[in-house]
Amino acid sequence: MSTPATSFTDHYNFAYLDEQTKRMIRRAILKGIAIPGYQVPFAAREMPMPYGWGTGGVQVTAAVIGHSDTLKMIDQGSDDTTNAVALRNFFVQTTGVNTTTHTKGASLIQTRHRIPEEPLSEDQVLVYQVPIPEPLRFLEPRETETRKMHALEEYGLMHVKLYEDIARFGHIATTYAYPVLVNERYVMDPSPIPKFDNPKMHRMEALQLFGAGREKRIYAIPPHTDVVSLDFEDHPFTPQEFDQPCAICGAEHVYLDEVILDDQGSRMFVCSDSDYCEERRTEGHTGHLGTNPLDAPSNGTAKDNASSKEACK
Amino acid sequence: MYVAVKGGEKAIRNAHTLLARDRRGDTSLPALTLAQMTQQLYLSISRVMAEGSLYDADLAALAIKQARGDLIEAIFLLRAYRTTLPRFGYSQPIDTATMLIRRRISATYKDLPGGQLLGPTFDYTQRLLDFTLAANGEEAPATPQTQAFEAQERVPRVTELLDDEGLMEPDAELPEDHEVGDLTREPLEFPAGRDLRLQNLARGDEGFLLALGYSTQRGYGRTHPFAGEIRLGEVEVSLFVEELGFDVPLGEMTVTECQMINQFAGSAKAPPQFTRGYGLVPGQGERKVMAMSLVDRSLRWQELGEEATSPAQDEEFVMSHSDNVQGTGFVEHLKLPHYVDFQAELDLIRRLRAEWFEKNQKTTGETADLEAAQ
C-alpha cells in the first residue's frame, strides 16, 4: 500500500488519466468529429467522482487539456455551483492549469446544462456533461434497437412523439434536452440544456464535445456545423422567451433563473450565466432592482427590501 | 444561484471537515485498525473486493473505513483507485479443481469424490443474537475438531462427474482465437458474449443479483435449479511470461465458486440434459455466487432455444443496471442543482395550466349554458 498522497501529481498522471486512456478517448473524439452527432462508444473509466456527476465531461476534458489551457467550469450557467467548484478543483489539483470565470478568457469550457451567453470563438472548446446521450432512449429503451434506428436514419418515432405533443397540448412540450438534427444526418441529444440554448449550437465557431461517462459514449459537433432543432413547418421551433429582463443587470434575451426571495411569493429573475451578469454590471448596466438584494450584508430576509416585491409581478 | 452557491467552495471544505469528524466518531475510543477489519469483517472486505474488482484486502479495509462502513461507497473508492493502476497482463485461467478447499457442498449428491466439507458457514446456526460478543473481553473461540482430512491434489467439480454420461452439458468452449472480453477496457456492446456477461455479473451488485435470481425462483423465467456444488478456498494465480515461456505463479487468492445445475427438457436447439449456470467471485461470497449462477443461466435462453419472458433473461436490462457504482452515481446525481431545467419546466407547466384552465372554464361555461337552456 502506498503512503497517503500529499499531492496528486506525485501519485497520478497529468489530468488523472494515464496516457493510453487519453489516447483512446482522443480517438473516440476524433471519430466523433468526423461523424458529427454520431455517438461513439468508448471505454469510459471509473473516475474519482460519481457517475452522473460529470465523469464523461471530465474524461473528455482530461483527454484534451494541456498545460497552456485556461479552464472555465460551469454548472447551471454559473462558476460557483457546488459541483462546478468540485470539478474545477479536481483539474486544478491534477493539472495545475489556469482557471477563469470569464467566458472570453477560457480556451476550454466544461459545462453542465447551459451554453454561455457570450458567443464562443473558434479557438475555444466547449465540453458538455451528458447524462443520457441517446435521444431515442425514452422512446425505445434498447440500445440494440436505437443503434439500428440511427443507422437507418429511422427517426419516425421521434417525429410521432413531437406530433403527439402538438395534438395533445397544441405545442411541443419538451423544454430541455430538445432533440436536434446534426449535419442533416444524426438526431442528437444536446444534453439537458434548455431549448433556449439550442440555437447557439447552430454553426457555432467553437468545437463542441459531449461526454457521457456512465453510458460510455462520446459525440461531437465540429465548428460551423448545422444543428437544427426538430420541428414541423406549421409548428416551427420556438425558443423560450422571458417577458422581463434580468433584475440586476437588465440583460434581455438571456436565460434567467427564478429566485424565490421570501415565503410570500416574491421572486426575481436573474441571469443564469453568472459571469455574463457580472460583466454587464461591471460595464455599468443595472436592472430594475438595482443591486442584488441577496448581496446585502445584513441580508436576513429579502422581504425587508421594499423593491423586491415589485420585482416579480 | 445567487442564494445557495456563492461561497460554494467554503461550504464544500466545511462539509468535508464535518464528514471527517463524523467518520472518526468519539475520539476517546480507539480508531479501527485495518487489520481488525480484514480479520473480523472479512465478508464486508470480500464484497468490496469483488464488486470493486480489486483483490486487495488491505485497500478494501481502508476503503470501508474511509466510507464509514458504506460498502457501495467503499466499492466506488476501490474502483476509482483501480482504474489508475497499470495493466501488466491477464493471468492464466485459474483451475478451481486444484483449489485448496475450505468448504465444499453439493445439494445434488449425498456423497461425491472429494467429499462434502461444511467449513465456515452461517448455515445451520440459530440466528440468535449472541450477547457474549457484546461483552468486552470475548473469549478466544474453541479450536474446531478436525478429522484427518486427506488433502487431494484435485477435487473434480461436480459437473465433471455427470459429464461422463452425457447428461450434463459440457464446459462451454470458446473458439481458439476468442479473446476474453474486458468491459473495463472496452465499451460494452449488445448482444454481449457469455464472458462479458459473467464479468458484468461478478462485478454486479449483490442485492440486485439476489433479487433477480430470486425472481427466477418465483416463476419469472423459471430455471429449475439445483446447487450442484459450492466451493470456497484458495487457488493459485499465475501469469504466462512471454520472455520466459512458462507460467509464473503470482500468489494465491480466495475464491467462491458455484455450479448451478438446471433441469432442461430440451428444445429445438439443444437435447434434454442438465444445463448449467456459473458463479465465481473473489473472496467469500456465497450468496452472490448462487444468485450470479441463477442469473447467468437465465441469460442463456437464446443459446438454449428458450423463450424470454422475464427481467432476469433480459441481457440489456440486467447488464445495464447491475453496476452499483453506476446506479448510485446516477440516482444520487439528482442531488445536483437542476435549476435551469426546472426553470424550463416551470415555464411549461405554467403555460399548460393556463391553457387547461382556459379550456375547462370554457367547457364548464358551455355546460352551464346548456343547463340554463334546458
Q: Is the ipTM of this complex over 0.85?
A: no
* AA identity, residue A54: G
What's the CA gap between B279 and B292, in Å, rounded? Answer: 5
- B74 and B100 in one domain? no
Q: To probe the interface with B, which of A10, A46, A229 has the most B CB atoms within 10 Å? A: A46
What's the CA gap between B31 and B4, in Å, rounded? Answer: 36
**Sign of the four-CA dihedral A260, A266, A268, A274:** negative
A272–B1 C-beta distance less than 8 A: yes
Of B7, B329, B340, nearest to A51 by CB-CB distance is B329
- B101 and B227 in one domain? yes
Cβ-contact A68, A106 below 8 angstroms: no
Q: Tell whether B337 is covered by a domain.
A: no
What's the CA gap between A231 and A161, in Å, rounded? Answer: 11
What's the CA gap between B94 and B252, in Å, rounded? Answer: 10
Cβ-contact A83, A97 below 8 angstroms: no
Quickly tell me which residue has 413531437 as its cell.
A162
**Could you tell me the three cell numbers for B307?**
423463450
Q: Tell whether B269 is covered by a domain.
A: yes
pLDDT at A182 over 90: yes
Cβ-contact A53, A82 below 8 angstroms: no
* AA identity, residue B64: I
Which of the residues of A are catalytic? Answer: 37, 246, 249, 271, 277
Q: To probe the interface with A, which of B315, B339, B350, B352 has the most A CB atoms within 10 Å? A: B339
Chain A residues touching residue B76 (CB < 8 angstroms): 46, 50
Of A53, A78, A170, nearest to B329 by CB-CB distance is A53
Which range marks the domain in which residue B282 is found? Answer: 96-120+150-172+182-329
Q: Within 10 A of A96 (CB to CB), how many other CB atoms are there? A: 13
* pLDDT tens column, B27-56: 999 999 999 999 999 999 999 999 999 999
Extended strands (E) in A65-179: 70-75, 98-99, 108-112, 125-129
Chain B residues touching residue A77 (CB < 8 angstroms): 1, 340
Residue A310 is predicted with a pLDDT of 40
Chain B residues touching residue A142 (CB < 8 angstroms): 190, 316
Chain A residues touching residue B320 (CB < 8 angstroms): 143
A194–B2 C-beta distance less than 8 A: no
Of B80, B332, B346, nearest to A46 by CB-CB distance is B80
- B70 and B113 in one domain? no
Chain B residues touching residue A274 (CB < 8 angstroms): 1-2
Q: Tell whether B334 is covered by a domain.
A: no
The pLDDT confidence band at residue A313, using thresholds 50, 70 and 90, is very low
Cβ-contact B1, A291 below 8 angstroms: no
Chain A residues touching residue B13 (CB < 8 angstroms): none
Q: Of A312 and B277, which is predicted with more confidence?
A: B277
CA distance A183 to chain B (A): 26
Residue A302 is predicted with a pLDDT of 38
CA distance B275 to chain A (A): 27
Of A80, A86, A194, nearest to B340 by CB-CB distance is A194
- B100 and B62 in one domain? no
B332–A50 C-beta distance less than 8 A: yes
- B300 and B205 in one domain? yes
Residue A8 is predicted with a pLDDT of 60
What's the CA gap between A250 and A134, in Å, rounded? Answer: 37
What's the CA gap between B340 and A258, in Å, rounded? Answer: 9
Chain A residues touching residue B354 (CB < 8 angstroms): none
What's the CA gap between A87 and B330, in Å, rounded? Answer: 17
Q: Tell whether B277 is covered by a domain.
A: yes
Residue B7 is predicted with a pLDDT of 61
Interface of B with A in 178-197 (CB under 8 A): 184-191
A216–B1 C-beta distance less than 8 A: no
Residue B263 is predicted with a pLDDT of 86
Of A50, A75, A259, nearest to B2 by CB-CB distance is A259
Tens of pLDDT, residue by residue, chain B (374 residues): 444 445 678 888 899 999 999 999 999 999 999 999 999 999 999 999 999 999 999 999 999 999 999 999 999 999 999 998 888 889 999 999 999 999 999 998 888 888 889 999 999 888 988 888 887 667 777 887 766 556 667 888 887 776 667 788 887 777 888 888 899 988 888 999 999 999 999 999 999 999 999 999 998 988 889 999 999 999 999 999 999 999 999 999 999 999 999 988 888 888 888 899 999 999 999 999 999 999 999 999 999 999 999 999 999 999 999 999 999 999 999 999 888 889 999 989 999 999 999 988 877 766 666 666 66
CA distance A71 to chain B (A): 17
CA distance A236 to chain B (A): 17
- B159 and B23 in one domain? no
* pLDDT tens column, A49-83: 999 999 999 999 999 999 999 999 999 999 988 89
**Could you tell me the three cell numbers for B34?**
485495518
Q: What three-state secondary structure class fits B117?
A: strand
Q: Tell whether B45 is covered by a domain.
A: yes
A272–B343 C-beta distance less than 8 A: yes
Max intra-chain CA distance, chain A = 66
- B236 and B102 in one domain? yes
* pLDDT tens column, A214-239: 999 999 999 999 999 999 999 999 99
Cβ-contact B298, B221 below 8 angstroms: yes
Q: Which residue does chain B place closest to A20, by CA atoms?
A: B86
- Cα–Cα distances in angstroms (integers) from residue B304 to residues A48, B30, B258, B269, B308, in the given order: 41, 57, 20, 6, 11
Q: Within 10 A of B173 (CB to CB), how many other CB atoms are there? A: 7
Q: Tell whether B47 is covered by a domain.
A: yes
Q: Which residue does chain B place closest to A76, by CA atoms?
A: B340
Q: Within 10 A of A184 (CB to CB), how many other CB atoms are there? A: 11
List Cβ neighbours of B351 (8 Å cut-off, separation of 6 or more).
none
Quickly tell me which residue has 467518520 as its cell.
B23
- B158 and B22 in one domain? no
- B110 and B45 in one domain? no
Report which listed range, A184-188, A289-293, A300-304, B176-180, is most confident. Answer: A184-188
What's the CA gap between A198 and B238, in Å, rounded? Answer: 55
Q: Tell whether B144 is covered by a domain.
A: no
pLDDT at A290 over 90: no
Q: Would you call A39 exposed, middle or buried from its count of C-beta atoms within 10 A (0-12, 13-18, 19+)?
A: buried
What's the CA gap between B319 and B190, in Å, rounded? Answer: 10
Chain B residues touching residue A256 (CB < 8 angstroms): 343
CA distance A203 to chain B (A): 23
CA distance B46 to chain A (A): 18
B11–A259 C-beta distance less than 8 A: no
Query: Is the minimum CB–CB distance between B20 and chain A shorter than 8 Å?
Result: no
- B111 and B74 in one domain? no
B83–A75 C-beta distance less than 8 A: no
B346–A76 C-beta distance less than 8 A: no
Q: Would you call A32 exposed, middle or buried from its count of C-beta atoms within 10 A (0-12, 13-18, 19+)?
A: buried
- B165 and B50 in one domain? no
Please indicate, yes or no, whether the overall pTM of this predicted structure exceeds 0.80: yes
Q: Name the domain count of chain B.
A: 2
- B103 and B69 in one domain? no
